[in-house]
Structure 1
Amino acid sequence: MSSVMQAWHRIVEQQDGSGLDDLLDDDVVFHSPVVHTPQRGKAITRLYLTAAMQTLNAPGHFQYLRELVDGNHAVLEFQTEIEGVLINGVDMIEWNDEGKIIDFKVMVRPLKAVNAIHQAMGQMLERMK
């Protein structure tokens, strides 16, 4: 397993966004399943990923099901649950040769799950302000 993926799994398991500063490139691009435009930069990506960890990683619910790594790219399928809604999604991660994440895309299904994430993430981001 790549050192980037090891670091990412450690951050998710510990729900500790502080490790993101070392893992994210300054110019990272984040693609949200609910925000139309890509979010650019370390600060906004850290904010979204930290909020997602707190929103989606309810104890006993979030788990990665599969992981495919090819060079500097990884696709991680996950599932979790928010208020009884089963969420199935994919994290697509790309990193540079320095081991910094440069692109992070999240895709979620079904539509009911997208709506649940949109609402829960909106509430979490408001609390984090």
Structure 2
Amino acid sequence: MHSFRKAVEARDAAAIEALLADNVEFTSPVAFKPYLGKAITAAILRGVMRVFEDFRYIKEIGAADSGDHALVFEATVAGKRITGCDFLHFDADGRIDEFMVMVRPLSGAQALAEAMAAQFEQIQAEAVAQIEREAATEERQAAGS
């Protein structure tokens, strides 16, 4: 079983975040432009964990030594059953640098869009707080050198 799958199934947000590259590009099934960076991607994934019910992966596609993997999932959002796929690309360091999600049917995608829109203020706040913490840590490290 893939390490990302294990982290998601364990609902381990810290382990999921640790698998993301700093420059990860996240392509949402309900947003036109991709989101760039670890902080916003991690915050979005935490939001998804809050809105998905009965989440489970049902299929894993990709050779163990490949940089590309697809994980097919099922979940419920606001009473709508969805099927989706996480398409992951791993960089040379084994971190996810491309993450694209697709879902169906349209009614499920619409329910997901509405649920995530309700989460987005919190998602943005979490991402900004993380960026500020990282900047403060870098400043302290630079001052100490």
TM range (shorter): 0.7 to 0.9
Query: Is there any run of 5+ residues in structure 2 with no aligned partner, and where?
Result: 126-145
What residue is the counterpart of 1:86 in the other structure? 81
Work out which of the two has the higher radius of gyration on C-alpha atoms and give 1 or 2.
2
TM-score by structure 2 length? 0.77
* 8 Å contact from structure 2 (residues 8, 16) kept in 1: no
Identity %: 34
Cα offset, 1:99, TM superposition: 0.9
* 8 Å contact from structure 1 (residues 15, 54) kept in 2: no
Match of 1:22 among 4, 18, 40: 18
Residue 65 (str. 1) matches residue 58 (str. 2) = yes
TM-score by structure 1 length? 0.86
Match of 1:12 among 1, 8, 11: 8
Task: Specify the SS of the correspondent of 2:62.
Answer: strand
What residue is the counterpart of 1:121 in the other structure? 116
Aligned length: 122
What residue is the counterpart of 2:30 in the other structure? 34
CA offsets 1:84-104 (integer angstroms, 9 cap, x no match):
211011100000121110000
Cα offset, 1:23, TM superposition: 0.9
Cα offset, 1:127, TM superposition: 4.1
* 8 Å contact from structure 2 (residues 48, 116) kept in 1: yes
Query: Is there any run of 5+ residues in structure 1 with no aligned partner, and where?
Result: none
1 CA distance for matches of 2:24 and 2:30?
A: 18
2 CA distance for matches of 1:96 and 1:118?
A: 29
Residue 102 (str. 1) matches residue 69 (str. 2) = no
RMSD: 1.5
* 8 Å contact from structure 2 (residues 9, 56) kept in 1: no
Task: Specify the SS of the correspondent of 2:114.
Answer: helix
